[in-house]
Amino acid sequence: MTAAAPIPHAAGPAAAGPATPRPYVLLSCAMSIDGYIDDASDQRLMLSNEADLDRVDAVRAGCDAILVGAATVRADDPRLVVRSPQRRRERADRGLPPSPTKVTVTGSGDLDPAARFFTVGDAERVVYCATSVLAQTRHRLDGLATVADGGDPVDPCRVLADLAARGVRRLMVEGGAAVHALFLGAGLADELHLVVAPFFVGDRRAPRFPGDGRFPWHPGHRAGLAEVRQIGDVVLLRYALSGRCPDV
Ligand SMILES: NC(=O)c1ccc[n+]([C@@H]2O[C@H](COP(=O)([O-])OP(=O)(O)OC[C@H]3O[C@@H](n4cnc5c(N)ncnc54)[C@H](OP(=O)(O)O)[C@@H]3O)[C@@H](O)[C@H]2O)c1
């Protein structure tokens, strides 16, 4: 794995080492009434409203790293930076970089060096890629990101252990469906922010939240509902998924 300096963190001091706990994992997702996180077109579907996007910006600003799947990098070309100048200043005042570290996972290594993930902002970038494509991905992203061996397929436990060793204590996972399923299925999620937008997509070709999987929360083990908040025309449902969530 490529060595990189530990990253200053948003949640207070901690010594990284063998006993470092995995980062707190907060999943964030917006979906339609019928559970879709996008439509089947090439255009990005806007599910949140401005007030909710500002809330998401505040959550981002409180995290050390933001993770999305490689398919989201390809489909949405997200910037993954803190938008608010005030929040960026507040982070800088606390000795943090203006935006959290950007993280993605890929099995194919098919990531465009010109994607905004790599070109926008000056945050650290870490790519966890499958062992089989490590060399070629390092070559492709040379100078743009730390490319780390995530296993084959990429193992979310390994990703979290490596992020912890890099000083990440609070990780925001912003999708898409496969990556949410990866963390949920492994029981590696502490909190879920689920926003419901007031319309239907109604197209089974579109991605749904989360992808297929066997999840630790089922009729015999219900998640804790920590909060319901109306934000304009959307609703935020906040679920406590582990005992680490302060609202459990
Ligand atoms: N509404 C929302 O909140 C929201 C947020 C984000 C994204 N989205 C939408 O979600 C859709 C994309 O979701 P998605 O489920 O197709 O993809 P995704 O979760 O963004 O990314 C999936 C990709 O991540 C990599 N990956 C995931 N798990 C892996 C593992 N264990 N090992 C190796 N690689 C792994 C693979 O990349 P490779 O293909 O490179 O191997 C895989 O194809 C887009 O339509 C986007 O607009 C919606």
Render each residue's pLDDT in the chain as its tens digit; 248 residues. 333 445 555 654 344 445 679 999 999 999 999 999 999 999 999 999 999 999 999 999 999 999 999 999 999 999 999 999 999 999 999 999 999 999 999 999 999 999 999 999 999 999 999 999 999 999 999 999 999 999 999 999 999 999 999 999 999 999 999 999 999 999 999 999 999 999 999 999 999 999 788 999 999 999 999 999 999 999 999 999 999 999 87
Q: What is the pLDDT of residue 31?
A: 98
* Residue the block writes with tokens 């730390």: 146
Can you list the domains of the chain with their CATH numbers?
24-240 (3.40.430.10)
CB-defined site of ligand 1, < 6 Å: 29-30, 37-38, 44, 47, 68-72, 75-76, 105-108, 110, 130, 153-154, 174-179, 182, 207, 211
Q: What is the pLDDT of residue 212?
A: 85
Print burial letters for 159-181: b (CB count within 10 Å at least 16), e (below 16).
bbbbbbbbbbbbbbbbbbbbbbb
Nearest alpha carbon, ligand 1 atom 30? 154
pTM of the predicted structure, to 2 decimals = 0.94
**Ligand 1 atom closest to 107 (CA):** 41
Q: What is the pLDDT of residue 2?
A: 37
Backbone angles phi, psi at 106, to 5 degrees: -145, 140
- DSSP for 36-57 reads BSS-SSSSPP--S-HHHHHHHH
Pocket test for ligand 1, best of 53, 66, 72, 182 (most atoms within 8 A of CB): 72
Round to whole Å and give the CA distance between 124 and 62. 16
CA of 176 to the centre of ligand 1 (A): 4
Q: What is the pLDDT of residue 13?
A: 39
The answer to whether 179 and 25 have CB atoms below 8 angstroms apart is: no
CA of 193 to the centre of ligand 1 (A): 18
